[in-house]
């Protein structure tokens, strides 16, 4: 394995105001926000509104108790202007359409940030029983609420993707899935969906997301179907945290993740493989940053995101686990961004996916503000700026 970069030094002094605000609002959210594009429950971070924060896409929690509000297109903290502009992402036109048999497009795929089409191709998970489900996940809550359908067919996704590109200028697509009970862990259906979308919209980059498949040949199948980047999301690198937070998914050995990451980098390429890492699951910050640096050395992008207490999850409704302190999120995010910058790795360099979008993380803002020469980072202002 490639030698990991030297660990980044912890930042000293107070965080820059823009970064401090970006991190704080990602944790505390915004109240009184009119957000036509929003999402509740489901796979991944949700209960948020999608906005342009100083022109960059951001998925911000909707929190009626937040000290942040929006007035006149400005972000206010306790009524005072933070100096940051806020503009809600407009409702996409494809949301007004339905399939021939009456399924609303919005139940098949959703707009994320300003130009990303995202879907959970199978909205059920074999690990969703109370004893095995991930405690931060609400993948089946949106299905129970009638906001989506259980299985999206390849034909449905191709139809919606074409409309989203033609009507709303969508530039990339993300396909995730609940974990199936089969050995492929959902890879075969993902491949069918990717192939159909790429046939309908050949120029649309697609990222797929799944657990490590039992047969790593499935990774080549996904690439051959047309996927151009992949997320193999572990959420935590600490085995104790994995057992506590993800009793089902945490039973998959870390050796399987490392083997899958290594093969995925071989198949998809350096910086086309990513993994979600949640800040706030109890990991030691220094160990988390060191783990991120090891991933970077492998060619894997560690997408660090603060844990978000979501309605319908065991972590919020049963465990009452709060969001992590802003100081911890700032510290980890800043150090990981510095390590990514040293390696020449950026979300903007990925074909599609969560790191390419960046709206759920402050990594893009950190990349902008941690350049040693003080100039604006090349990857911000493009896709990476969507954080």
Q: Which of 253, 298, 243, 309 is nearest to 275 (CA)?
A: 298
The predicted structure's pLDDT at residue 294: 98
Cα distance between residue 240 and residue 249, in whole Å: 13
**Cβ neighbours for 348, distance < 8 A, ≥ 6 positions apart:** 356, 378, 379, 382, 383, 384
Check residue 32 and give its pLDDT.
66
SS3 272: coil
In a domain, 9, yes or no: no
E strands present in 191-307: 206-209, 229-231, 273-279, 300-306
236-261 as b/e: b if 16+ CB within 10 A = bbbeebbeebbbbbbebeeebbbebb
**DSSP-based three-state secondary structure for 331:** helix
Q: Is residue 31 part of a domain?
A: yes
| Domain membership flag for residue 355 | yes
| pLDDT recorded at residue 368 | 53
Closest CA to 257 of 223, 216, 226, 293: 216
In a domain, residue 1? The reply is no
Consecutive H or E run containing 172? strand 172-176
**Number of independent structural domains in the chain:** 1
User: Which candidate, 213, 227, 132, places its Cα nearest to that of 172?
Assistant: 227
**Element containing residue 86 per DSSP (H, E):** strand 80-88
Secondary structure (3-state) at 343: helix
pLDDT recorded at residue 186: 95
Q: Distance between CA 172 and CA 352 in Å, rounded?
A: 6
**Hunting for tokens 């302190």 — which residue is that?**
325
Q: Return the CATH number at 100.
A: 3.20.20.70
Closest CA to 99 of 159, 166, 163: 159
Instruction: Domain of residue 131: give its range.
Output: 17-386
What is the structure's pLDDT at 380? Answer: 31
Side-chain half-sphere of 135: how many Cα atoms within 13 Å? 23
Residue 60: strand, helix, or coil: strand
Q: How many whole angstroms separate alpha carbon 376 and alpha carbon 151?
A: 43
Token couple for 158? 């191709």
Structure tokens at 107: 């139940």
Strand boundaries in 243-369, DSSP class E:
273-279, 300-306
Give the separation between CA 21 and CA 84, rounded to whole angstroms. 9
Give me 54's structure tokens: 């100083």
Rounded Cα distance, 376 and 275, in Å: 26
Q: Which parts of the chain register pLDDT below 50?
A: 1-15, 369-387
Q: Is 255 inside a domain boundary?
A: yes
User: Is residue 208 a part of any domain in this protein?
Assistant: yes
**Cross-strand pairs, 76:** 69, 81
Q: Are 232 and 264 in contact, with CB atoms under 8 Å apart?
A: yes
Residue 127 lies in a domain: yes
Q: Is residue 8 part of a domain?
A: no
Question: pTM for the whole thing?
Answer: 0.87
Phi/psi at 194 (5° precision): -60, -45
The structure tokens 């339905």 sit at: 98
**CA trace torsion 73, 324, 344, 228 (10° rounding):** -80
Q: How far apart are the first and last CA of the chain?
A: 30
Q: In degrees to the nearest 10, what's the CA dihedral of 307, 309, 314, 317?
A: 160
């Amino acid at each position: 394995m490639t030698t990991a970069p030297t660990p980044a030094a912890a930042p000293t002094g107070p965080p820059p105001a823009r970064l401090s605000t970006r991190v704080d609002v990602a944790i505390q959210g915004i109240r009184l926000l009119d957000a036509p594009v929003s999402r509740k429950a489901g796979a991944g971070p949700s209960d948020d509104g999608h906005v342009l924060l100083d022109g960059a896409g951001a998925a911000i929690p909707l929190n009626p108790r937040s000290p942040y509000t929006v007035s006149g297109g400005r972000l206010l903290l306790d009524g005072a202007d933070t100096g940051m502009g806020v503009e809600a992402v407009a409702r996409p036109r494809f949301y007004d359409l339905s399939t021939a048999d009456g399924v609303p497009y919005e139940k098949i795929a959703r707009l994320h940030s300003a130009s990303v089409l995202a879907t959970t191709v199978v909205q059920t998970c074999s690990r969703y029983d109370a004893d095995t489900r991930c405690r931060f996940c609400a993948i089946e809550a949106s299905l129970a609420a009638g906001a989506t359908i259980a299985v999206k067919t390849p034909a449905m996704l191709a139809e919606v993707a074409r409309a989203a590109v033609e009507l709303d200028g969508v530039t990339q697509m993300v396909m995730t899935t609940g974990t199936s009970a089969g050995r492929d862990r959902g890879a075969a259906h993902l491949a069918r969906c990717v192939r159909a979308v790429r046939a309908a919209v050949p120029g649309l980059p697609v990222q797929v997301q799944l657990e490590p498949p039992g047969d790593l040949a499935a990774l080549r199948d996904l690439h051959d179907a047309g996927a151009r980047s992949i997320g193999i999301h572990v959420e935590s690198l600490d085995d104790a945290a994995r057992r506590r937070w993800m009793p089902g998914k945490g039973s998959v050995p870390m050796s399987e993740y490392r083997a899958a990451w290594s093969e995925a980098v071989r198949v998809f390429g350096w910086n086309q493989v990513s993994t979600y890492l949640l800040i706030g699951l109890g990991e030691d910050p220094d160990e988390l940053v060191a783990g991120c640096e090891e991933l970077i050395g492998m060619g894997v992008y560690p997408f660090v995101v603060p844990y978000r207490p979501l309605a319908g999850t065991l972590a919020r409704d049963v465990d009452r686990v709060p969001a992590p302190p802003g100081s911890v999120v700032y510290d980890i995010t800043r150090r990981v961004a510095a390590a990514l910058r040293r390696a020449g790795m950026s979300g903007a360099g990925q074909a599609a996916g969560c790191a390419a979008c960046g709206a759920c993380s402050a990594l893009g803002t950190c990349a902008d503000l941690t350049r040693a020469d003080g100039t604006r980072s090349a990857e911000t202002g493009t896709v990476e700026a969507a954080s």
